[in-house]
Structure 1
Amino acid sequence: MGVLLLILPALSASAQAPAIVGQLQYTLDPSLSRVNARVGFFGIASKTARFPKVSGRIVLAPKRLDTIQLNVDLDATALEAGDSVTLERLRGPDFFDVEHHPKVHFIGRGLRMTGPVTAQISGSLTAKDITHPVLLSVSFAKPPAAATGKEPIQFTAQTKIDRTEFGMNAYRFIVAKTVTITINAAMVPR
């Protein structure tokens, strides 16, 4: 029994250890991170929704950036919009239906560098329990290959989705189908 008590903490620690040597773990700093969704409105203007409550983490190995693990959660119940009518509609059943689907989730599992500080992250986006693949175009403040695990990682990412693929079909003649999502993130070492 005494040996088991000594072994269990070691097993627990090894189960949480990164799978690839040199992996660094970061947590999203919600006070320094923003997620916005912009959509065309009446074909001549646009409306922007903001997700002020975000959480997430990233695991990366500077020598194996292709093994990235990125998870971001958006609290759809905290969604903000420019006016109360838009906010009510976005939170309602025609769009995010926050009563039944309070979270929007992104998982990134593949990173392909396109330059020293630019990349594409492939992953999946889930909203209203509907998941579709997405590709994020990313610009890092510093090369991720130079990450040390001691300094924050900052990046801006953008993607475009078709809202109707996520069951958000209302107001087709007023609100465009294409939504541009922009993420400004600061990830701090864990």
Structure 2
Amino acid sequence: MRWKTAKCVTALMLLCASTLGYTASTYRFRLDPVSSSVDAKVAFMGIGNRKAYFPALRGNVTLSPDQMNQIDLNVTIDATQLTADDGTTTGRLKGKDFFYVDKFPTVRFEGTQLSMTNSTNGIVRGNLTARGVTRPVALNVAFSTPPAEVRGKDPIRLTGVTTINRKDFGMTAYSLVVGKKVTITIKTRLLPT
């Protein structure tokens, strides 16, 4: 009888340990708003580039080193705070021809799949919503710490880059002077929660 009891207790302990191990290997982070920014770069008149800056964003990331193909990455950008190099461009970007911030005040990225290409670089696949339109995008990401080694105690720096066609999001104005391809760069510091 004692042998059966000991066996049951051992099995229960192993079950608890494996359950605790699974829970402990899922780590959550939040974007540090002070150390986070987004910019969007587009060709202008075929001879240079123009940039828009998005200084106000929030979000979170959930990583599991045991399941590296999964990620929960959510970033919400306050488009009403966007700026450009001059007031006229800032006004146009906030207007109906581009982000139309009076009607669509936020831009959102939701990433669900992670494919690592090496220990610190990978691709996050998900959806980008801007101006009320949602499209699938692939975000090329670089982590300052290999995600497989994350233990949820230290901050991580994350940089993500993707290129979209602005016309896919209903931003079709000024096509003779403004390029259609827009390169978006996210730079953030992730803080453990």
- The two structures share one fold, judged by TM-score above 0.5: yes
Query: Would you say 1:165 and 2:173 are equivalent positions?
Result: no
Which residue of structure 1 aligns with residue 82 of structure 2? 79
Which residue of structure 1 aligns with residue 141 of structure 2? 138
Which residue of structure 1 aligns with residue 96 of structure 2? 93
| Letter of the 2:134 counterpart | T
RMSD: 1.1
Q: Which has the larger radius of gyration?
A: 2
**Once the two structures are aligned, what percentage of the paired residues are identical?**
44
- 1:134-161: CA deviation from partner (whole Å, max 9, x where unpaired): 0011111110111111001211110000
Runs of 4+ in 1 over 3 A off after TM superposition: none
Identify if the C-alpha distance between structure 1 residues 117 and 86 changes in structure 2 by more than 3 Å, giving closer, same or farther: same
Which residue of structure 2 aligns with residue 175 of structure 1? 178
- 1:113-170: CA deviation from partner (whole Å, max 9, x where unpaired): 0001110000010001100000011111110111111001211110000000000000
Q: After TM superposition, list the pairs within 5 Å mapping 1:11-50 onto structure 2.
A: 22-50=25-53
| Letter of the 2:95 counterpart | G
| Equivalent of residue 52 in structure 1, options 44, 52, 55 | 55
| Equivalent of residue 188 in structure 1, options 159, 178, 191 | 191
Q: Give 1:21 deviation, angstroms.
A: 5.7
TM-score by length of structure 2 reads 0.87
> How many residues were matched structurally?
172
Which whole-Å CA distance do the structure 1 matches of 2:31 and 2:147 have between them? 15
Which whole-Å CA distance do the structure 1 matches of 2:116 and 2:156 have between them? 15
Which whole-Å CA distance do the structure 2 matches of 1:147 and 1:90 have between them? 38
